[in-house]
């Protein structure tokens, strides 16, 4: 440390002197003589870093659906079978409910819940999608009927309208229902061309006409309780490539163990860009 030195000789002070003043500057220069730089860098900085919460990127990105050939699909259909009941008429809806799109029809919905695992005891709910019913072109009469009051363009009877929920590419079909077509997830959890991330979807159907809630599975046959757990889920595989973010609906995840193997609940229509996901009312033995 560099300081100014002062010497006081008492013999030079007058006997009448009652006080002596020494001026000390406010700013003092110092010199590092120990390992303070190393301590600052190795210990202090590290400990400060530990006290700061890590930065987490909660920004989500949009995933497009692709098929097993990595081609973007433009239509996903969720098809319901409630113990053999596959039309709106079979679950209590009337022709007028469909024709006039009453609230009981519009408020009926299919809920898709996405989890990070297919193990109920440890899984975490990540997101969910609510799909409301909509009428497709196939639900309208394509010709004038001479045997009934059905006219061209009028909705078909409720007994002929399938229990389906359709998600379409909004860029291709501007008038279609796009909700559920895209998936949204955290983009920083995927590495370019790296390991994919799996989501497990479990579905529930709510009938606003009867107030009944039906849990769904991916198998069309009754199963023992111990075999039922994994048959509740459909797997979605998320990937990141140099072309963007995509997801596949796994066509092999719930393939029954039969010889020869039979298809599971996910079907890719050959030579088209459509995927159909079939969901069934839970039946246990």
> Whole-angstrom Cα distance, residue 132 to residue 115?
21
pLDDT of residue 45: 77
Stated pTM of the model: 0.76
Could you give phi then psi for residue 104, rounded to 5 degrees? -65, -25
Write down the domain spans for the chain. Answer: 60-281
Which whole-number Å values give the CA distances from 129 to 17, 110, 165, 176, in the listed order?
92, 8, 12, 17
* Mean pLDDT score, 93-110: 93
Count CB neighbours of 100 within 10 A.
Answer: 11
Q: Is residue 144's pLDDT more than 70? A: no
* Mean pLDDT score, 41-50: 76
């Amino acid at each position: 440390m560099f300081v100014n030195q002062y010497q006081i000789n008492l013999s030079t002070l007058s006997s009448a002197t009652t006080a002596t003043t020494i001026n000390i500057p406010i700013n003092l220069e110092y010199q590092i003589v120990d390992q303070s730089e190393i301590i600052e860098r190795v210990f202090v900085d590290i400990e400060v870093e530990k006290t700061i919460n890590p930065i987490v990127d909660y920004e989500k990105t949009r995933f497009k659906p692709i098929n097993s050939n990595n081609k973007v699909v433009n239509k996903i259909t969720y098809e319901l079978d409630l113990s053999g009941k596959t039309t709106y008429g079979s679950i209590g809806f009337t022709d007028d409910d469909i024709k006039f799109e009453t609230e009981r029809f519009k408020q009926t919905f299919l809920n898709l819940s996405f989890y990070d695992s297919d193990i109920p005891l440890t899984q975490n709910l990540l997101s969910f999608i609510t799909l409301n019913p909509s009428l497709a072109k196939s639900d309208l009469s394509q010709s004038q009927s001479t045997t009934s009051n059905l006219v061209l363009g009028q909705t078909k009877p409720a007994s002929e309208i399938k229990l389906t929920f359709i998600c379409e590419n909004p860029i291709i079909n501007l008038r279609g229902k796009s909700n559920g077509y895209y998936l949204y997830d955290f983009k920083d959890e995927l590495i370019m061309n790296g390991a994919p991330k799996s989501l497990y979807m479990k579905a529930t159907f709510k009938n606003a006409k009867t107030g009944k809630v039906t849990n769904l599975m991916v198998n069309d046959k009754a199963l023992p309780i111990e075999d039922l757990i994994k048959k509740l889920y459909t797997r979605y595989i998320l990937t990141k490539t140099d072309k963007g973010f995509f997801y596949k609906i796994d066509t092999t995840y719930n393939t029954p163990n039969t010889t020869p193997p039979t298809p599971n609940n996910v079907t890719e229509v050959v030579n088209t860009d459509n995927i159909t996901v079939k969901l069934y009312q839970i039946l246990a033995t």
